[in-house]
Amino acid sequence: MDAFNGDNTFRMDRVGFHYFPDTIHFREYDLQTWLPRLKDLGASWLVLQSAVDRAIPEHFLQPVARAGIEPIIQFNLPLTETIEPADLEALIAAYARWGARYLVFYDRPNTRSAWNSNSWTQQNLVERFLDQFVPRADLALEHDLIPVFPALEPGGNYWDTTFLRTSLEALENRKKTALLETMVYAAYGWTYNRPLNWGCGGPARWIQARPYNTPIGEQDQRGFRTCDWYSSIVRAVLDKPARILLFQTGLPQAAELLKPQDLQPDATARTCLAVGKLLASEEAFEPADTEIKLEPLSEEVISANFWLLAAGEQSSYRFQAWVQGERILPVVQEWRRWLTGPHKTQKAIPAMEEIPIHKDLICEEDVAPVLTAPPVDHPIAHYLLLPAYDWGVSDWHLDVIRPFIKRHTPTVGFSLEEATLAKQVTVIGNETVCSDASLELLREKGSKVERISGDGMNIATTLAER
């Protein structure tokens, strides 16, 4: 029995979810499957991962935005290499046309792991981060989009509250007035297994807390109320309220650090339900002690995005997802039971048939009943695996595959790991660029594999015949 029946007619304005933790679940099939479920869970926001070399498709993004769900596009750009703003301009312009408004650049720049060892040890880390962040944020502003200052790791190798304050002061010194007026802030909603009231009120209440030093009896920002501390800093430096997006809400710590034993289904359900009530401005109590009433959540939090809607069968994040195939988790049951009760904040959402869909892009074989989970073991139908060399990508390969792409519309890439997600894989090149062992790995994952090799003429001829 499916946990989703699509009977909800309202949505909390501050509730959001992280979509799949990858950049491949954007087919029409995925839209038809997951949009009704997002509506059924009351979502108003959706965090989407974007690659830097291809856009989230228009036929996925536009219907999500038109359904009243605000997309948050997350570019986890590496600080260890330079991606020029001009390389992102076409993507950013497309997202602006298709209904997105919020763009997140980078993630946790206050951690050593975000930088290479040489960069981390150099002076003026914040200024060097802003040298990368500001041009991309300005590009977003040029397209009337809202840049998001990336979430910092609470505490972190470079103390996060110091990093944020120093960044804002530096932006003021750079006279980035338009950016400071428009920018919103991301923060992680991790609990660190502490009470949800931990750190509530920020530094105005916990006046003895200092960077790298939280005296006994004091509390700091390393808990669910990180947002209170960031809000206080924004007000102190800019004399204006902050607008904050919470990421990975409901987790005790960073998603990549969690093991299955770290998440207890019933405890997760109680935590997420308590946060949901805070977002709806309802009375809520500490999940582990119902005698303790939770203090209200600041209105400066404009969305809290729960981790995680779903993940592929092979994903290391699958055990963290709310939806795991046919398994109905306690968090889904409790959440939907709560949603069917009376609420102060309600918003009508259009029926599925009222949402504009590009019908010409849908093939009959791709359309499944909206309550049936997608085949996440092979979410890619056809993958064209191209060789990549130390010096870059061959222009000749890019030219010769164009007719093949037009006929078969495969996903094109250079990643063997990504290719394992495909039902069919076409490999271009001989064993020197893709070994027989790699092909065997693909077959073990259940992929149907074809290699096209030989000299340039043979490859071009074979592709033309396919």
Domain boundaries, position 92: 15-360
Residues 297 and 408 in one domain: no
Torsion angles phi and psi, residue 167, rounded to 5:
-65, -45
* Cα(314)–Cα(317) distance, integer angstroms: 9
- List C-alpha distances in Å: 424 to 12, 153, 408: 41, 39, 11
Give the number of residues written for the chain. 466
β-strand pairing of 289-293 with 285-286: antiparallel
Residues 403 and 292 in one domain: no
Identify the CA nearest to 409 among candidates 363, 444, 441: 363
Q: Which residues pair with 306 in a beta bridge?
A: 17, 249
Residue-wise pLDDT for 420-441, tens only, equals 888 899 998 888 778 888 888 8
Residue 172 reports pLDDT greater than 90 = yes
Residues 285 and 397 in one domain: no
Q: Which residues pair with 305 in a beta bridge?
A: 16
For residue 46 the two structure tokens come to 């959706």
The reported pLDDT for the residue numbered 446 is 87
Q: Report yes or no on 437 lying in a domain.
A: yes
- Give me the half-sphere count of Cα atoms (radius 13 Å) on the Cβ side of residue 33: 22
Q: Report yes or no on 2 lying in a domain.
A: no
Q: Report yes or no on 328 lying in a domain.
A: yes
Distance of CA 339 to the CA centre of its chain: 24
Residue 23 reports pLDDT greater than 90 = yes
Residue 200 reports pLDDT greater than 80 = yes
Residue 8 reports pLDDT greater than 50 = no
Q: Report yes or no on 220 lying in a domain.
A: yes
* Residue 245, preceding peptide bond in cis (omega within 30° of 0): no
Q: Report yes or no on 291 lying in a domain.
A: yes
Angle between helix 85-98 and helix 125-142 axes, rounded to 10 deg: 40
Taking all residues of the chain, what is their mean pLDDT, rounded to a whole number?
Answer: 87
* Cα(275)–Cα(310) distance, integer angstroms: 20
- Give residue 342's pLDDT band: very low, low, confident or very high (50, 70, 90): low
Residues 339 and 397 in one domain: no
* Cα(343)–Cα(40) distance, integer angstroms: 15
Identify the CA nearest to 355 among candidates 63, 71, 30: 63
Q: Report yes or no on 189 lying in a domain.
A: yes
Residues 198 and 263 in one domain: yes
Write the CATH number for 127: 3.20.20.80
294, 326, 360 - which closes a domain: 360
Residues 106 and 215 in one domain: yes
pTM of the model: 0.75
Q: Are 454 and 462 in contact (CB under 8 A)?
A: yes
Angle between helix 28-40 and helix 58-66 axes, rounded to 10 deg: 20
Residue 354 reports pLDDT greater than 50 = no
Task: List CB contacts of 363: < 8 A, sequence separation 6 or more.
Answer: none
DSSP-derived letter for residue 295 is: P
Mind giving me the DSSP string for 153-213?
PSSTTTTHHHHHHHHHHHHHHTT-HHHHHH-EEEEE---TTS-TTTTTTGGGT-TT-BTTB
Q: Report yes or no on 136 lying in a domain.
A: yes
Residues 313 and 398 in one domain: no
The reported pLDDT for the residue numbered 458 is 67
Residue-wise pLDDT for 374-423, tens only, equals 344 677 888 888 887 655 556 666 777 888 887 787 888 888 888 888 88
Identify the CA nearest to 220 among candidates 203, 236, 243: 203
Residue-wise pLDDT for 49-102, tens only, equals 999 988 999 999 999 999 999 999 999 889 988 788 888 999 999 999 999 999
Residue 373 reports pLDDT greater than 90 = no
- Give residue 357's pLDDT band: very low, low, confident or very high (50, 70, 90): very low
Identify the CA nearest to 178 among candidates 201, 222, 226, 146: 146
329, 360, 391 - which closes a domain: 360
Q: How many domains does the chain have?
A: 2
Residues 325 and 443 in one domain: no
CB-based burial label for 76 (10 Å; 0-12, 13-18, 19+): middle
Write the CATH number for 400: 3.40.50.10330
Residues 20 and 95 in one domain: yes
